[in-house]
Amino acid sequence: MSRDEILAAIPHRPPFLLVDRILERSADRIRCSKRFDEKECFFAGHYPGFPIVPGVLLCEAAMQAGAVLLSAHAEINGKIPVATRIGDVRFKRMVRPGDTVEIEVELVERMAGAFFLKAKVSVETSVAARLEFACTLAPMPDDAPGRQARY
């Protein structure tokens, strides 16, 4: 999936777009990647001298990948998945400048307008974070980025 397709699928934009590439996608699973460039603004203040990617950004990257996954569902038209819950978050490895993470998200269950997902963020073969989260659908403003192309 190209960057243009990612931009059409979700309204996130740089500098807060945390999905670079979609590597694999099915109806209930997505695998994507994000390289954390040494010049990312948060590295300057998140442990100066020993920068690491904030765990909350690993979670956000997983939720953005989940939003791309959900964008293929017909009922998403005109709406955007918004996180309503995050749980069972476990950080197992630091992610440093220059690292590329692979993000796997799976749609576990769907109830009415709620989607329940689980995610794993890895660097090479080492798990950096695991989490579960839920989303619901919210109306998207007519002038939101990406709406014209996808929604």
Of 78, 80, 71, 82, the C-alpha closest to 25 is 71
- The residues that are catalytic are 46
∠ CA 114-17-104 to the nearest 5 degrees? 55
Q: By three-state DSSP, how is residue 47 classified?
A: coil
- End-to-end Cα distance, the chain: 17
